[in-house]
Amino acid sequence: MLIAGNWKMNLKYDDILKFRDIVNDFKIDNRVEMAIFPQFPLLYYAKEYLSNCNIEIGAQTCSSELNGAYTGDVSVEIISDIGCKYCIIGHSERREFHNETNSFIKKASTLVLSKNIIPIICVGESEEIKNKKDTNQFIRNQIRKCVPDNINSDLVIAYEPLWAIGTGIIPSYEEIFNVHTNIIDELSYIENLKVIYGGSVNSENCAKIFELNTVHGALIGGSSLKFKDFLAIYKSAVKQL
Ligand code: PEP
């Protein structure tokens, strides 16, 4: 399982140190990975301070180009040099505010894989699509457009319904189970595939989500900023094994 904390544009250098102090005394179970995704300038420190605690580090996005005149973008080579294990690609906020399209996501994921970093590709339907009962078809289509060609192992898909992100509302457990089953079915040729759920996961609803055997972890935004809650979610995942 993978418990991933997407810090987004929150928390500072001092928070990396606070997090380290807390996780120093925390037992990481080797069957459940913990990863955090701080802002780019903090990645180096996060790697430096947290790798002894068995916590993986990841980037929140990356360029779809290897290098060159792309002011403000961050290359996969730097992310790789820092020692990130994961890179989130196509988070709905990146799709909405930075025009990350399905074809960008496929190109960036292909680059990321070429540096032996595991992409966490985000997919998820809008409320409108959910109401039209088109979720499964929409997600299959996103996956077909975003997943790199010729990939046969090591991929994470984060199923994040747009209407569940940061709203406190989650789909029914049955809906989560069904969408995850659909994704696993679509990508059955990929070894070591993880399908994780994201969208308003908290320390109260997580146990029931982790009970679903098609859920291989969670991508957590708001609750990852409250370290106590994030660790409680992690413990709940361990308990589920
Ligand atoms: C996210 O943005 O990836 C996310 C899941 O956020 P939240 O947990 O706050 O809904």
**Axis-axis angle for helices 102-114, 135-146 (nearest 10):** 50
Q: Where does the pLDDT of residue 80 fall: very low under 50, low under 70, confident under 90, or very high at 90 and above?
A: very high
Closest-CA residue to 6 (of 198, 162, 164):
198
Cα distances (Å, whole numbers) of residue 151 to 54, 154, 169, 190? 27, 8, 33, 7
CATH number at residue 86: 3.20.20.70
| pLDDT, position 212 | 98
Closest-CA residue to 26 (of 231, 219, 236):
231
- pLDDT beyond 90 at 125: yes
The boundaries of the domain holding residue 100 are 2-227+234-239
Q: Tell me the mean pLDDT in the region 81-107.
A: 97
| pLDDT, position 231 | 98
pLDDT one-digit tens code per residue, 205-237: 999 999 999 999 999 999 999 999 999 999 999
Ligand 1 pocket mutation, candidates 2, 97, 201, criterion most atoms within 8 A of CB: 201
Mean pLDDT of the chain: 97
Centre a 10 Å sphere on the Cβ of residue 237 and count the other Cβ atoms it contains: 24
> Within 6 Å (CB) of ligand 1, which residues are found?
6, 160, 165-166, 198-201, 219-223
Domain count, the chain: 1
Nearest residue (by CA) to ligand 1, atom 4, is 221
- pLDDT beyond 90 at 51: no
Question: Catalytic positions, please?
Answer: 91, 160
Question: What is the CA(66)–ligand 1 centre distance, in A?
Answer: 28
Cβ-based burial of 115 (10 A; exposed 0-12, middle 13-18, buried ≥19):
middle
**Overall size of the chain counted in residues:** 241
Q: What share of the chain is helix, strand, coil (3-state, %, to 5)?
A: 45, 20, 35
The whole-angstrom separation of Cα 109 and Cα 84 is 14
pTM exceeds cut of 0.95? yes
